[in-house]
């Protein structure tokens, strides 16, 4: 009898078929059908699809199994990667400082509802526009180069981190804020004595995450906006020299630094949690 009751408790409860699940299934089926139709009706001209797939695998094999330096050296590549890292660090630093300040006013428990709604609405518009478009928009005034890349990437970083920081601040226990207010603490004392210490782990985590994103974006901006760094060398190797082997070695450089950033971020967050 006991085993019977245990089996009854362990049974998976299947949700009834409703309108929402029907819409989701129809949407998935429609997307699959549209994808299949697109592949069938696409104008491939004189290109054979299967030959193209085979050529792609051959190019990937050349790129990753036969990497080499030709138009630049190891030291030059290392220097260019450091430029890209510097661009990502600069934009993350500027964006984090601005977002931290505005994040206090965007949090509903630290600011008024109209101010919070206005800031969140504004940053939602910023996030809806891709970073590369912001860079190209600022390039109209500053010209293509590192200046436009820094401003555009910082702009998008601010929009991203304000949302992340403000949501972290909103998770703070309301009782702590009320207790500090009752003891006579002003707004800035609440920020520095309660909000920042309790949210430091989230702040560090979100900032490191955005730094990793900005590193990847900085690689792309090196090609798209002429910001320099390893991205510009990759653009030259792929579009100007068409040297797949050199593209491969640049890809390994970017991958190695991305893994190193992830390991450093994990180490810092672990030490922060241990000390807390």
Pair (58, 83) in one structural domain: no
217 and 206 in contact (C-beta within 8 Å)? Answer: no
Which of 20, 47, 64 marks a domain boundary? 64
**Average pLDDT of the residues of the chain:** 83
pLDDT of residue 5: 52
Count Cα neighbours of 261 within 13 Å in the Cβ-side half-sphere: 24
Statement to judge: residues 34 and 135 lie in one domain: no
For residue 58, the enclosing domain spans 2-64
156, 214 Cβ separation under 8 angstroms: no
Strand, helix or coil for residue 109: coil
Residues 6+ apart with CB under 8 A from 132: 152, 217, 220, 221, 224, 225
The CATH number given to whatever domain includes residue 120 is: 1.10.3720.10
**pLDDT at residue 160 in the model:** 92
Task: Assess whether 266 and 232 both reside in one domain.
Answer: yes
Question: Which pLDDT belongs to residue 100?
Answer: 92
pLDDT less than 70: residues of the chain: 1-17, 44, 226, 272-276
139 and 49 in one domain?
no
pLDDT at 30: 93
Q: Read off the tokens for 59.
A: 């190019």
Q: Where are the alpha helices (DSSP H) in the chain?
A: 2-10, 19-41, 49-65, 74-106, 113-128, 131-142, 146-170, 174-182, 187-190, 196-224, 230-235, 244-275
Query: Which pLDDT does position 59 carry in this prediction?
Result: 87
Q: How many structural domains compose the chain?
A: 2
Q: Are residues 45 and 86 in the same domain?
A: no
Per-residue confidence (pLDDT) for residue 31, from 0 to 100: 92
Contact 230, 250 (CB under 8 A): yes
Handedness of CA 179, 183, 184, 188 (dihedral sign): negative
d(CA 107, CA 168): 8
């Amino acid at each position: 009898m006991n085993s019977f009751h245990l089996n009854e408790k362990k049974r998976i409860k299947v949700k009834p078929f409703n309108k929402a699940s029907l819409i989701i299934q129809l949407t998935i089926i429609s997307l699959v059908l549209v994808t299949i139709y697109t592949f069938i009706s696409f104008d491939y001209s004189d290109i054979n699809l299967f030959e193209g797939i085979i050529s792609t695998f051959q190019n990937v094999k050349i790129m990753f199994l036969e990497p080499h330096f030709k138009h630049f050296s190891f030291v030059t590549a290392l220097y260019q990667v450091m430029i890209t890292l510097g661009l990502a660090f600069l934009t993350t630093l500027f964006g984090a400082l601005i977002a931290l300040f505005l994040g206090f006013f965007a949090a509903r428990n630290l600011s008024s509802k109209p101010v919070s709604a206005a800031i969140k609405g504004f940053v939602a518009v910023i996030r809806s526009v891709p970073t590369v478009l912001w860079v190209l928009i600022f390039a109209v005034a500053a010209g293509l180069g590192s200046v436009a890349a820094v401003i555009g990437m910082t702009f998008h970083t601010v929009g991203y981190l304000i949302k992340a920081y403000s949501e972290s601040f909103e998770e703070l226990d309301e009782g702590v804020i009320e207790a500090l207010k009752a003891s006579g603490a002003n707004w800035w004392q609440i920020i520095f004595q309660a909000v920042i210490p309790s949210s430091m782990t989230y702040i560090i985590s979100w900032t490191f995450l955005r730094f990793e994103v900005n590193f990847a974006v900085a690689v792309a901006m090196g090609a798209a906006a002429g910001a320099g760094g390893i991205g510009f060398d990759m653009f030259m190797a792929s579009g100007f020299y068409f040297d797949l082997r050199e593209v491969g070695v640049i890809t390994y450089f970017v991958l190695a630094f991305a893994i190193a950033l992830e390991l450093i971020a994990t180490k810092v967050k672990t030490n922060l949690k241990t000390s807390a």
